[in-house]
């Protein structure tokens, strides 16, 4: 594990600890657990279904983005998707994205960097949709203050992401690109990595692929919103669709902040903070957040374990394999095995 990952892990655990401390001081835990104990089983069962639909739609979206590179059976892509969720649940620093990229690349004989490029496209699409959902919800609900400021900042972040994606896709056509390439050729490993990553990013230039990805993203986020609606109903809270959309998007945006594995603490604090805007008491909001989070972690973890066994893979980030892959294609000697600094 690199020093950067270790530092991010320590910071994340510290942030989660602070979030849990804040929650412990603002929530009546015995009452919250009493609310949770009386949760309606029918709504809980519906939540399980909506989480399955959510992950299933995301797996189908990833397969659509991979299609121009290689046609991979949906069942296998879904397995790798669950594997990534499992890794995010138990490993720090959102390493699940690297784990699933490496596992799919190795299992389907593809370039890890190219596969990672499709994951970058996924993240950009998700961020655009999340900020759009939050913005629409803020306008419909008439929410101001910190939430609206966060949405404005998020919109700026989205603009930077989209611009960065466009630049990355057309960088070889920009003025001065030949000079940059000439300089980069001194470092063939980095140049090869950039080329492979661009191959993955290029899938977004296909209108049909992008259209399918957006439709499947809409299906996934609809299921995510439905999960919050069901979770709220299970503990006796009536949420409107805009309120559930703001909760879903707000919690998603909070995952950008470093936290402990599984987003423990930060997930619940964000949900309770947003729900308080609607006049929901903290105890019931905390019960709802715990229930929704528990369902997501349970479904994705069980699915991830089953996928790992079926695919015969572990939670390997593949950083060494990526080095060897790029070094080989750049006609360089692969790095010596063993520990490396930082």
Express each pLDDT in 246-270 by its tens digit: 999 989 988 878 888 899 999 999 9
341 found inside a domain: no
Number of domains in the chain: 1
Letter string b/e over residues 287-301, b meaning 16 or more CB atoms within 10 A of that residue's CB: bbbbbbbebbbebbb
The alpha carbon dihedral of 36, 48, 236, 257 has a sign of positive
335 found inside a domain: no
Mean of per-residue pLDDT scores for the chain: 83
99 found inside a domain: yes
Check residue 332 and report its DSSP letter.
-
User: Quick one: 145 exposed, middle or buried, by C-beta within 10 A (0-12, 13-18, 19+)?
Assistant: exposed
Is pLDDT of 330 > 50?
no
Residue 21 has a pLDDT of: 95
339 found inside a domain: no
Residue 148: band (very low, low, confident or very high) from pLDDT cuts 50, 70, 90: low
More confident residue, 335 or 68: 68
Taking Cα atoms as reference points, which of 240, 231, 249, 168 lies closest to residue 204? 168
Residue 146 has a pLDDT of: 67
pLDDT tens digit sequence for 175-211: 555 554 555 455 444 444 455 556 667 787 788 998 9
Residue 83 has a pLDDT of: 97
19 found inside a domain: yes
Mean pLDDT of 27-41: 94
pLDDT tens digit sequence for 271-283: 999 999 999 999 9
208 found inside a domain: yes
Residue 170 has a pLDDT of: 57
Domain of 200 in residue numbering reads as: 3-329
Q: pTM score, two decimals?
A: 0.84
Cα distance between residue 318 and residue 80, in whole Å:
14
Cα distance between residue 316 and residue 326, in whole Å:
18
Taking Cα atoms as reference points, which of 22, 4, 11, 23 lies closest to residue 258? 11
Tokens 């804040």, residue? 22
- Compute how many other C-beta atoms are within 10 angstroms of the C-beta atom of residue 261: 20
Tokens 């049909």, residue? 208
């Amino acid at each position: 594990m690199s020093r950067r990952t270790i530092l991010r892990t320590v910071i994340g655990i510290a942030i989660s600890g602070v979030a849990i401390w804040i929650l412990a001081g603002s929530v009546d835990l015995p009452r919250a657990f009493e609310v949770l104990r009386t949760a309606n089983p029918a709504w809980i069962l519906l939540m399980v279904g909506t989480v399955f639909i959510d992950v299933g739609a995301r797996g189908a979206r990833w397969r659509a983005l991979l299609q121009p590179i290689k046609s991979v059976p949906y069942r296998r892509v879904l397995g790798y998707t669950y594997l990534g969720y499992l890794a995010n649940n138990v490993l720090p620093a959102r390493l699940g994205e690297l784990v699933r990229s490496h596992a799919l690349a190795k299992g389907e004989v593809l370039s890890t960097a190219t596969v990672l490029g499709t994951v970058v496209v996924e993240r950009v699409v998700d961020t655009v949709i999340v900020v759009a959902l939050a913005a629409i919800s803020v306008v419909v609900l008439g929410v101001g203050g910190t939430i609206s400021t966060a949405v404005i900042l998020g919109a700026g972040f989205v603009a930077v992401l989209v611009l960065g994606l466009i630049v990355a896709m057309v960088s070889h056509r920009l003025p001065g690109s030949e000079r940059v390439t000439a300089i980069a050729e001194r470092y063939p490993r980095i140049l090869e990595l950039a080329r492979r990553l661009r191959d993955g990013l290029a899938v977004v230039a296909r209108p049909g692929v992008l259209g399918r990805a957006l439709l499947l993203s809409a299906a996934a986020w609809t299921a995510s919103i439905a999960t919050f609606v069901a979770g709220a109903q299970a503990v006796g809270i009536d949420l409107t669709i805009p309120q559930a959309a703001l909760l879903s998007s707000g919690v998603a945006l909070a995952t950008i902040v470093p936290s402990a594995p599984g987003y423990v603490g930060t997930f619940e604090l964000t949900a309770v903070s947003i729900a308080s805007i609607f006049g929901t008491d903290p105890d019931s909001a905390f019960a709802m957040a715990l229930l929704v989070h528990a369902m997501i972690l349970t479904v994705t973890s069980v699915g991830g374990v089953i996928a790992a066994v079926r695919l015969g893979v572990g939670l390997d980030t593949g950083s060494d394999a990526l080095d060897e892959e790029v070094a080989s294609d750049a006609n360089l000697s692969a790095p010596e095995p063993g520990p490396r600094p930082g």
